[in-house]
């Protein structure tokens, strides 16, 4: 058995900061941000919006799109690095809100690779015959850990949630790849506020996102093509056989560099980063949902879905889309 995505959903807060809003906070400009990142605006949670509430709405929309009832869900996996609380986890709160009483729940923390890792986890559970229907969600409130005094990073991140329902079907597992390098964890880090003397670290801005942008860029443009080529080799495919490369939305220049290294047309690399910014584990499922609802995804299309980010971590999966 293997899992097939049968429904997608997403949620973006109504409030947003465009580049001109950011320029009021730090020394920058709309032109500077667009040129270096491709980002125009990023959505920001406000009022009662939280990682949980966004996850609930994205999950609800995915279930509706997939014609799946909450009581049919066997498992809920939520990928997030910005949970509302230490306990209970976000997945448990989603279960309660959706009424998915039968579901086993847990959260997964792998930052921007998180949704791909969650998808791989779901495939393993389904292949083992343990569960049939799994709700996957990536949800982030990165505005809460964004260092709004650091112009190199505060321009990048936004809030939102994306979800997909994976259901069991007969068939062999499609290939996937993943990896981690903890020795490079320092290039993209954020210390916890659940530790001794966290107030001092907060004053030093250590409990906010700290990123070595150059190191992350070099890592991404090297590792992403490696993963795609590995999958294509296993499948005996070439770049021409792949319809879509759905990647983590970190930076437009990163995605363009990946396309060049794969000698692929950039049109195969859909992007919504201009509207959403970098939403970490939510970015891939948000984009997937947008493509699904707009009709871009067609029956039988071949897709490589790939994420990379903090950890450092990376993962990619091959799938065939079925309407």
Return the active site residues: 112, 248, 278
User: Would you list the DSSP string of 147-178?
Assistant: -TT-TTTTTTB-EEEEEEEEEEESSPPPPEEE
Non-local CB neighbours of 243 within 8 Å, separated by 6+ positions: 268, 298, 301, 302, 303
Q: How many CB atoms lie within 10 A of CB 149?
A: 11
What does the chain come to in residues? 323
Task: Spell out the alpha helix ranges (H) of the chain.
Answer: 19-22, 30-37, 51-65, 90-98, 114-127, 198-203, 213-235, 252-261, 273-276, 283-294
Do the beta carbons of residue 156 and residue 278 sit within 8 Å?
Answer: yes
């Amino acid at each position: 058995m293997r899992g097939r995505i049968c429904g997608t959903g997403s949620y973006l807060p109504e409030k947003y900061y465009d580049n001109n809003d950011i320029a009021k906070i730090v020394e920058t400009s709309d032109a500077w941000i667009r040129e270096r990142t491709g980002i125009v605006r990023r959505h920001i949670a406000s009022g009662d919006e939280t990682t949980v509430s966004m996850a609930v709405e994205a999950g609800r929309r995915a279930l509706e799109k997939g014609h799946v009832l909450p009581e049919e869900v066997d498992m809920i996996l939520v990928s997030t690095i910005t949970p509302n609380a230490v306990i209970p986890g976000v997945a448990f709160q989603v279960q309660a809100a959706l009424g998915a009483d039968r579901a086993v729940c847990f959260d997964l923390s792998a930052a921007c690779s998180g949704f791909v890792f969650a998808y791989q986890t779901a495939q393993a559970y389904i292949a083992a015959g343990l569960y049939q229907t799994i709700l996957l969600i990536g949800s982030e409130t990165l505005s809460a850990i964004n260092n709004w005094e650091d112009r190199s990073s505060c321009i990048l991140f936004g809030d939102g949630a994306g979800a997909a329902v994976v259901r069991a079907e007969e068939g062999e597992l499609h290939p996937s790849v993943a990896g981690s390098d903890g020795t490079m964890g320092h290039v993209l880090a954020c210390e916890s506020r659940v530790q001794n003397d966290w107030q001092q670290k907060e004053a030093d801005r250590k409990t906010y996102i700290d990123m070595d942008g150059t190191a992350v860029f070099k890592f991404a443009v090297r590792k992403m093509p490696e993963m795609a080529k590995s999958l294509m080799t296993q499948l005996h495919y070439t770049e021409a056989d792949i319809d879509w490369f759905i990647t983590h939305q970190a930076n437009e220049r990163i995605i363009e560099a990946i396309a060049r290294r794969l000698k692929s047309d950039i049109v195969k690399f859909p992007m919504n980063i201009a509207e959403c910014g970098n939403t970490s584990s939510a970015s891939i499922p948000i984009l997937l949902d947008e493509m699904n609802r707009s009709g871009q995804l067609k029956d039988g299309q071949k897709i490589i879905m790939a994420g990379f980010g903090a950890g450092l971590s990376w993962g990619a999966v091959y799938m065939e889309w079925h309407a």
